[in-house]
Amino acid sequence: MAESTLNQTSKVFGSGKDGICIIKCLTDIPGGRSLDVSRIPAEYDVISAGHIVISKAGQYILLGVTGGKFATLTEGESYVGVLRTAIMRQDPRGAIVTSGQVNGACTPFPIDDAIAKGLPHIEFLFTDKRN
């Protein structure tokens, strides 16, 4: 299970999209969770707001990335929500939005139909405005 040390000092980072990625958070997982980042390619030191969070066997995992797209779920996995703010790979503690509105134009990777259907309490807006 993913674990984090809570007494680390914080660092300033991010892409500047944190404030516009989550348009409205209606509900989230209280207190956030420590996230498994093992499926994220090593070149990503910062995981952006809007990244999809999944679960398997009680663990919270950041959805993998393949070829510039979110990976598909494997057996036993389910969608949980969306990362509320950017996090550092070496300190993977994050708030997870489970209901609300997300700006699909600024998620780190495109939101496909499977993700949208798997997160029915999240409305993905502006997905047609991606660069």
Domain around 83: 18-129
pLDDT digits (tens, 9 = 90+) for 64-117: 999 899 999 999 999 999 999 999 999 999 999 999 999 999 999 999 999 999
Whether 49 has a pLDDT exceeding 90, the answer reads yes
* Tally of structural domains, the chain: 1
Instruction: Give the gyration radius of the chain's Cα atoms.
Output: 14
Beta-carbon-side half-sphere exposure of residue 110 (alpha carbons within 13 Å) = 12
The enclosing domain of 45 has a CATH number of 2.40.300
Residue 19: pLDDT band (50, 70, 90) is confident
Q: How much is the mean pLDDT over the chain?
A: 90
Residue 10: pLDDT band (50, 70, 90) is very low
Contact at 8 Å (CB) between 103 and 77? no
- Note whether residue 5 is domain-resident: no
Name the percent of the chain lying above pLDDT 70: 87
- Note whether residue 3 is domain-resident: no
Whether 2 has a pLDDT exceeding 70, the answer reads no
